């Protein structure tokens, strides 16, 4: 029994000693100043109102970030972790969300015309009032896991469940 207790204490010590996957303030500041940062840790970053088009944020961790009212046309979010993002009223025309994880993201009132959603996870994402009539890569199966409202504009032939 003492060996088991020692082992449990050892494992607990390792767990507390492991570095947390916290945000990277320097990388967040870089993006806030309008520069690309592919693969960066932007966890919980505040990008509210940011106006910076054409950024490369591919494979970045944007989980729980605020992108509300941002204008980020043609930005590359491919493969990004965007779970729980709040992007209320943002503009992402022509942006790429290919392969991104948008689980539980809020895209309420967002402009997404021409955006690419190929392979994106839309589970629990709220697209109420979103303009995405010319978005690419959307499938009915993906949209069935998201929600929207009567104001959501989708490509012809697709529909989204009500939130």
Query: Is 81 inside a domain boundary?
Result: yes
pLDDT confidence tier of residue 23, bands split at 50, 70 and 90: confident
Convert the pLDDT of each residue in 75-117 to its tens digit: 999 999 999 999 999 999 999 999 999 999 999 999 999 999 9
The answer to the question of residue 1 being in a domain is no
**Does residue 14 sit within a domain?**
no
> Is 139 a domain residue?
yes
pLDDT of 20 strictly over 60:
no
Structural domain including 27 reads 22-163
58 CB-near residues (< 8 Å, 6+ apart): 38, 39, 76, 77, 78, 79, 80
CATH number at residue 92: 2.160.20.80
Give the total number of structural domains in the chain.
Answer: 1
Q: Note whether residue 12 is domain-resident.
A: no
Instruction: Answer yes or no: is 11 within a domain.
Output: no
Residue 57 in this model has a pLDDT that exceeds 80: yes
| 112 DSSP assignment | -
Residue 64 falls within a domain, yes or no?
yes
Category of 62 on φ-ψ map: left (φ > 0), alpha (ψ -120 to 50) or beta: alpha
Q: Evaluate if residue 11 carries a pLDDT over 70.
A: no
The average confidence (pLDDT) of the chain is 90
pLDDT (tens digit, 9 = 90+) per residue, 30-51? 999 999 999 999 999 999 999 9
Element (H, E) at 12: helix 2-17
d(CA 134, CA 66): 25
With contact defined as beta carbons under 8 Å apart, do 64 and 45 qualify?
A: no
- Is pLDDT of 66 > 60? yes
In a domain, 3, yes or no: no
């Amino acid at each position: 029994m003492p060996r088991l207790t020692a082992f449990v204490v050892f494992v607990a010590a390792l767990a507390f000693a492991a570095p947390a996957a916290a945000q990277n303030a320097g990388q967040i500041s870089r993006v806030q100043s309008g520069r690309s940062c592919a693969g960066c840790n932007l966890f919980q970053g505040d990008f509210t109102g940011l106006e910076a088009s054409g950024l490369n944020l591919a494979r970045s961790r944007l989980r729980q970030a605020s992108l509300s009212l941002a204008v980020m046309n043609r930005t590359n979010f491919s493969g990004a972790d965007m779970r729980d993002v709040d992007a209320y009223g943002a503009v992402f025309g022509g942006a790429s969300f290919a392969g991104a994880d948008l689980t539980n993201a809020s895209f309420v009132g967002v402009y997404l015309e021409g955006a690419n959603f190929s392979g994106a996870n839309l589970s629990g994402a709220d697209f109420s009032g979103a303009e995405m009539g010319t978005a690419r890569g959307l499938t009915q199966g993906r949209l069935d896991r998201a929600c929207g409202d009567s104001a959501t504009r989708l490509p012809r032939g697709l529909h989204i469940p009500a939130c």
